[in-house]
Amino acid sequence: MFSFVVSRILQALPVMFVVSLISFAMFAYVGDPVSIMLGQDFTEAQRTALVHDLGLDQPFFIQFATFVGNALQGEFGLSYRLSRPVAELIADRAPATLELAVCAAFIALAVGVPLGVYTGIFRHSWLSRFFLTFSLIGVSLPTFLIGILLILTFSVWLGWLPSFGRGDVVQIGWWSTGFLTWSGIKAMILPAITLGLFQLTLIMRLVRSEMMEVLRSDYIKFARARGLSNRSVYFGHALKNTLVPVITIAGLQLGSIIAFAIVTETVFQWPGMGLLFIQSVGAADIPVMAAYLMLIAAVFVTINLVVDLLYYAVDPRLRVGRGGH
Amino acid sequence: MSLLQVKNLRVEFPTRRGTLVALDDVSFDIAPGEVLGVVGESGAGKSMTGAAIIGLLEPPGRIAGGQILLEGKRIDNLPYEQMRRIRGRQIGAIFQDPLTTLNPLYTIGRQLIETMTTHLPIGPGEAREKAIGWLEHVGIPAARERIDSYPHEFSGGMRQRVVIALALCAEPKLIVADEPTTALDVSIQAQVIAMLKTLAREKGTAMMLVTHDMGVIAETADRVAVMYAGRISEIGPVRELVRHARHPYSKGLMDSIPPLDRRVERLQQIDGSMPRLSAIPKGCPYNTRCPRVFDRCYVERPELLDAGTTRAACWLYAEGAPQGASV
Ligand SMILES: Nc1ncnc2c1ncn2[C@@H]1O[C@H](COP(=O)(O)OP(=O)(O)OP(=O)(O)O)[C@@H](O)[C@H]1O
Ligand code: SF4
Ligand SMILES: [Mg+2]
């Protein structure tokens, strides 16, 4: 078990290495931080001093090593645009994105799995057809359009929910949460649905097809032949066997929810990391972009690790070391 | 009274190109504790008969006629929930491939315990003790230690023993065993069958045993039913049928078995192949291959007729059959 985790972490290292190399290359070669930071008027002496301060006169690999060393300590330098430490900016914005992503993932799983089970069992029912048609819409409409349609309906026409922002937040240590105020919760609903809808339909379709596959299997026939109740056959035996692929996809989807929160955050002016990233792209704020890139990579790697551990928990066949005979 | 009665069973599959009749006018009885062997070529309808009895025909297949009675009560038209209570409790089933019949994600103990607690008025603790007992009965060594193992930790033969324990653990009166040893290594087939036979005898469990292995039939069954193209072509006591089959098809089938006591140069094979369901000929379904075919066989379909000690669906045993027909 321990060695399994260690080997997975070792496998993740090259990925993180490549991502940091890309981030660093962006840092070092895209745009010219010196001229951005100095502005229009500067002397050659000022310029040399800044180049030295930033370490830009060092050889490539020393610069890279310094970058990685700093990154490991959460140091990504100063934002060109806001002249504040990048780590601080990200820490400010991360709670908004993470809360949004968790809500979206929760909606996707809490609605997608039951709908998938239902449509997988009652394949030909009228309701299943309705859900499938609805899921087709979820898959085919682009996220920003869904967001705009929701805003139009619930904010503009009905006036029930806010169309932008996070509402009032409560500060708990460095974490700011929107879950503790009524306006924060109301502000969460539309963005979370927008962000989660695509994953919801994806998970529903995945669970459905896995469910149909598993229900044809011999062990399900045998479970029926043993006279087990429908509940036990569907939820005890069938659903559990669909879990391995569902965990994979759901895990990857959670990663992309965080990564692609950019669109939703832009539509709803949600003060999260995605919005920060978009604003940074506009201003060629390389340190923020590099830090964001590495953070997203770290999130994906972590999720992959968790997914592998969940496999291990679900499927006894992966647990080696107890041989049969 | 018979434990199981199958009367004029007809199973249909509606398809786009018309209705296929997979079983037609199948009738037989099984007495308490009796073992009925069922043989016949691939596609004859053996598994279909078993599936109809346990009420698990795969849609769109459906019972279109006839009756199935267990201890005199009809079970072919029960609502799903009532039939579910009969499955496992009154009629157990053993499937062919032990590698796929056990849920890979649960321990064998859990699967045994859930089967027993579903049907019997016992708690999980008691069920666990009984489960260990059943694993010992079916010949799993070190049952107490191995009860918490997963299916993949057992060999094929051991897994089939677990499947048999699962089929028997709620003590059903009838077991439908569909080729229980076909998927196993030849070297352990005999052991598993012997174990199954002994257990069934001890518990007084009747069995419908589908197999391609005539050796198994000869050793295990009390009576044999021979199926052909969705119908029973001959049924009777095992000794009679194996030695003196009356129906030309059964004869052909028995002649294709290698005798245990002497060597033969070449086994007799029946020429031709069984017709597809969509192309079953008028009259006797065997008339395309039968060496004894005569004019009546093309016109009318034979019912099961008295043929001495067995009953055979063959016009040779009707009044007015051609001279020298009966054996
Ligand atoms: N879903 C289906 N639709 C149409 N015909 C089917 C379907 N399932 C089975 N059949 C047909 O029903 C007939 C009986 O099949 P069955 O499985 O009972 O044969 P069997 O005697 O068990 O053969 P085997 O020895 O190969 O197991 C076969 O001709 C088969 O092609
Ligand atoms: S009825 Fe005719 S064709 Fe059929 S088995 Fe008897 S002799 Fe052969
Ligand atoms: Mg079969």
Half-sphere exposure of A76 (CA within 13 A, CB side): 28
Burial class of residue A44 in the structure, from the number of CB atoms within 10 Å of its CB (0-12 exposed, 13-18 middle, 19+ buried): exposed
Specify the ligand 1 atom closest to the Cα of B49.
18
For ligand 2, say whether the CB of B13 is within 6 Å of any of its atoms. Answer: no
Asked whether residue A322 carries a pLDDT value surpassing 50, the answer given is no
Chain B, nearest residue to A313 by Cα = B105
Mean pLDDT for the stretch of residues A291-301: 85
Of A218, A317, A322, the CB nearest to B100: A218
Give the position of tokens 């080997």. A7
pLDDT band with cut points at 50, 70 and 90 for residue A320: low
Would you list the DSSP string of B179-201? STTTTS-HHHHHHHHHHHHHHHH
- Closest alpha carbon to A72 in A13, A112, A143: A13
Task: Render pLDDT for A53-95 as a digit per residue (tens, 0 to 9).
Answer: 777 777 777 878 887 888 888 788 778 788 788 888 888 888 8
pLDDT band with cut points at 50, 70 and 90 for residue A269: confident
Chain B, nearest residue to A232 by Cα = B114
Å from CA of B292 to ligand 2 middle: 6
| ipTM of predicted complex | 0.91
Asked whether residue A294 carries a pLDDT value surpassing 50, the answer given is yes
**Interface residue ranges in chain B relative to chain A, Cβ cutoff 8 Å:** 54, 56, 84-89, 92-93, 95, 97, 100-107, 114-115, 118-119, 149-150, 152-155, 163, 166-167, 170
Task: Render pLDDT for B188-225 as a digit per residue (tens, 0 to 9).
Answer: 888 899 999 999 999 999 999 999 888 889 889 999 99
pLDDT band with cut points at 50, 70 and 90 for residue A49: confident
- A124 interfacial to chain B (CB closer than 8 Å): no
In this structure, what DSSP letter does residue A236 have?
I
CATH superfamily of A86-318: MetI-like (1.10.3720.10)
pLDDT band with cut points at 50, 70 and 90 for residue A325: very low
Å from CA of B179 to ligand 3 middle: 7
What is the pLDDT, as a whole number, of residue A33? 66
Report the mean per-residue pLDDT for chain A: 83
Asked whether residue A323 carries a pLDDT value surpassing 50, the answer given is no
Task: Render pLDDT for A219-253 as a digit per residue (tens, 0 to 9).
Answer: 999 999 999 999 999 999 999 998 888 888 888 88
Contacts of A2 (CB under 8 A, 6+ apart): none
- A325 interfacial to chain B (CB closer than 8 Å): yes
Task: Round to whole Å and give the CA distance between B111 and A225.
Answer: 13
Task: Round to whole Å and give the CA distance between B8 and B24.
Answer: 7
pTM (two decimals): 0.83
Å from CA of B210 to ligand 1 middle: 13
Would you list the DSSP string of B282-314? SS-TTTTT-TT--GGGGTSPPPPEEETTEEE--
Selected residue with higher pLDDT from A40 and B264? A40
How many beta carbons lie within 10 A of that of residue B85, not counting itself?
A: 14
Give domain limits for chain B.
Answer: 250-260+267-327
pLDDT one digit per residue (tens) for chain B, 327 residues: 799 999 999 999 998 888 899 999 999 999 999 999 999 989 999 999 999 999 999 888 999 999 999 999 999 999 999 999 999 999 999 998 989 999 999 999 999 999 999 999 999 999 999 999 999 999 999 999 999 999 999 999 999 999 999 999 999 999 999 999 888 888 888 889 999 999 999 999 999 999 988 888 988 999 999 999 999 999 999 999 988 899 999 998 887 766 655 555 555 667 778 888 888 899 999 999 999 999 999 999 999 999 888 999 999 998 877 765 544
Positions of CATH 1.10.3720.10 in chain A: 86-318
Burial class of residue A320 in the structure, from the number of CB atoms within 10 Å of its CB (0-12 exposed, 13-18 middle, 19+ buried): exposed
pLDDT band with cut points at 50, 70 and 90 for residue A159: confident
The region, left, alpha or beta by phi > 0 then psi within -120 to 50, assigned to residue B71 is left
How many beta carbons lie within 10 A of that of residue B237, not counting itself?
A: 13
Would you call A217 and B92 a contact, using CB atoms and an 8 Å cutoff?
A: no
Alpha helices in chain B (DSSP H): 46-53, 80-86, 98-101, 108-119, 124-137, 143-146, 156-168, 186-203, 214-220, 238-243, 248-255
**What are residue B62's DSSP bridge partners?**
B12
What is the pLDDT, as a whole number, of residue A278? 86
- A226 interfacial to chain B (CB closer than 8 Å): yes
